[in-house]
Amino acid sequence: MIDKVKIEYTLWQVMDVLRGKYAFGESVDCGLKLLLFKRLSDQSRMEKRTQFSVPREARWSVIEGEGHNLADKLSEALTAIEKVNYQLEGVFTNSEINFWNRFDDETLRHIIKLISELDISDENFDDLSELGKASEELIEKRASIEGYRRRIYTPQQVTKVMVELMNPQQEKSIYDPVCGSGEFLAESVKFIKKLGGNLSQLNLYGQDADSQECATTKINLTLHGIYNFDIRVGNAISEPCFLEEGKPRVFDIVLANPPFNIKYQSELLKKINYPKRFDYGIPRNGVGNYLFIQHILSSLGDKGKAAVILPRGVLSREGDEGQIRKSIIEADLIEAVIEIAPKLFDNVSIPVVIIIFNRSKSHKNQILFIDASCEYEAGRGKNFLHPEHIDHIVCTYRSLKDKDGFARLTHLEEIAENKYNLSVNRYVTPPADEKIDIPSEVSNLHRLEAERSELERKIDGYLQALGIKL
């Protein structure tokens, strides 16, 4: 029998072979693509009825027996697999370059020999989820090492919070407009399975501007045993991929971690497709946070809900963003604002929040504020959420009740009095037994918010100048 430990050991042997010759991210891509190829071939060899088919001439055993020109022969075999499995388009090959040509015959032979020792057909697993877990951890390790070279990756602990907040049950559609590695979609299926839910009617949708990220999403989902997905390449702001009757399609649940504070050129915003998505306004500074929020709102059905990770600055910035926030608040589309602990993400130091949007709120004209900034265990350079922290956050959200020093259900009238500022610490104050000079702290808060906004503006400028995209 085979388990996660054995798969991870083999994958790290592959990484060792590639070490020094290739970037770590490129090595991970190579290892995951070959692992999926082996998985599909092993399933086809056992003549199991699966979602995907592998032509006999394109199976692992054929490539394993080749001695020369491995890159070209591997590319031919994997192209043949993609041609008969439309869902896997772009996973193994690229129409512009031959991914496999960067690896020499000796390197490929060594890697193929290592992975050949794994029989990853169903019969060799006591728990099929082990395969998905192994791939998931390698993807997370890649994100940790590569940092800013890739889009922000959502750690498993934060992904679990988001999915549990949404509590997917028998929803028919879940969408991620910036799907990255597919972590939200995979976690949603795991959550529904754990509850014994029916997956037969569930469909997963995702898009990402990065074709390699889309490929990783497809690999991740398939290795998790998830096949009912539709993943497409495209920037959600400029070209939404999922349309219905000439407008963006709507979904039951949206989960997203959009790139923070990304800026769009005014020329692009003038030519944007389906501009009605942005009826609340387009910020003149081109910052994309509220563009993503509005795209997500346009993607929600009448009873749809969404959980979105955003930089804390979206709660308090003024100007165009403040006016858009005011309109969304007055439309009563925000259900909860949750400030989470710092340093949960690799290479992201700015504070982040989770905003929950709901088109069918039970508590009209009120927003629940939760201060979960202290819910974590400190680690070396990074903090961690444990199950008890996740349970505390999720149970508080579901209760929709005040909790001294942790949560408060606040009427929109009070929020309006605060000039539509949604900063959590304006509404959730420490427990009464702590002696605090409230007027002094509020004054200090206003000063810090102004300083933070100015600092974020400067940081954005420095990162843009360095060519770093957040």
> DSSP string covering 264-328, please?
--HHHHHT-SSGGGGTT---TT-BSHHHHHHHHHHTEEEEEEEEEEEEGGGGT--HHHHHHHHHH
Whole-structure pTM value: 0.88
Is 216 inside any structural domain?
yes
Q: What's residue 144's pLDDT?
A: 78
- Phi, psi at residue 220, to the nearest 5°? -60, -45
Establish if 345 belongs to a structural domain.
yes
Q: Hey, which residues does 233 pair with through a beta bridge?
A: 208
Residues 397 and 370 sit within 8 Å (Cβ to Cβ): yes
Positions of the chain with pLDDT lower than 50, given as ranges: 148
Q: What pLDDT does residue 329 have?
A: 98
The 10s digit of each residue's pLDDT in 338-364 is 999 999 987 777 899 999 999 999 999
Residues 71 and 197 in one domain: no
Q: Same domain, yes or no, for 49 and 179?
A: no
- The answer to whether position 78 is within a domain reads yes
Residue 296, domain member (yes or no): yes
Q: Look up the CATH number of the domain holding residue 138.
A: 1.20.1260.30
Give the up-direction half-sphere exposure of residue 343: CA atoms within 13 A in the CB hemisphere. 10
Same domain, 70 and 202: no
Same domain, 178 and 120: no
* Cβ density class 375-408: b for 16+ within 10 Å, e for less: bbeeeeeebebeeebbebbbebbeeeeebeebbb
Residue 469 is assigned to a structural domain of this protein: no
Distance CA 222, CA 340 (A): 31
CATH code of residue 188: 3.40.50.150
Q: What is the C-alpha separation between 166 and 158, in angstroms, rounded?
A: 13
Domain count, the chain: 2
**Residue 467 counted as domain residue:** no
Burial class from Cβ neighbours inside 10 Å (0-12, 13-18, 19+) for residue 210 reads middle
Q: What does the block give as tokens for 175?
A: 């969408």
Residues 131 and 179 grouped into a single domain = no
Last residue of a domain, one of 96, 117, 143: 143
pLDDT of residue 348: 74
Which one of 90, 114, 143 terminates a domain?
A: 143
53: three-class secondary structure by DSSP: coil
Position 249 in a domain: yes
At which of 143, 159, 190 does a domain end? 143
> Does 238 lie in the same domain as 139?
no
Q: Are 18 and 111 members of one domain?
A: yes
Could you tell me the residue range of the domain that residue 66 belongs to?
A: 4-143
**What number of CA atoms fall less than 13 Å from residue 207's CA on the CB side?**
20
The answer on 224 and 276 residing in a single domain is: yes
Determine phi and psi for 389, rounding to 5 degrees: -70, -45
Helix (H) or strand (E) holding 174, with range, is strand 173-176
Residues 37 and 97 in one domain: yes
94 and 189 fall within a common domain: no
Q: Are residues 399 and 381 in the same domain?
A: yes
CB atoms within 10 A of CB 169: 13
235 and 342 fall within a common domain? yes
Q: Quick check: 335 and 356 in contact, CB under 8 A?
A: yes
String of b and e for 5-33 (b: at least 16 CB within 10 Å)? ebbbebbebbbebbeeebebbbbbbbbbb
Parallel, antiparallel, or unpaired for β 334-339 and 352-358? Answer: antiparallel
pLDDT in tens, 242-290: 999 889 999 999 999 999 999 988 888 888 889 999 999 999 999 999 9
Looking at the domain assignment, is residue 470 inside a domain? no
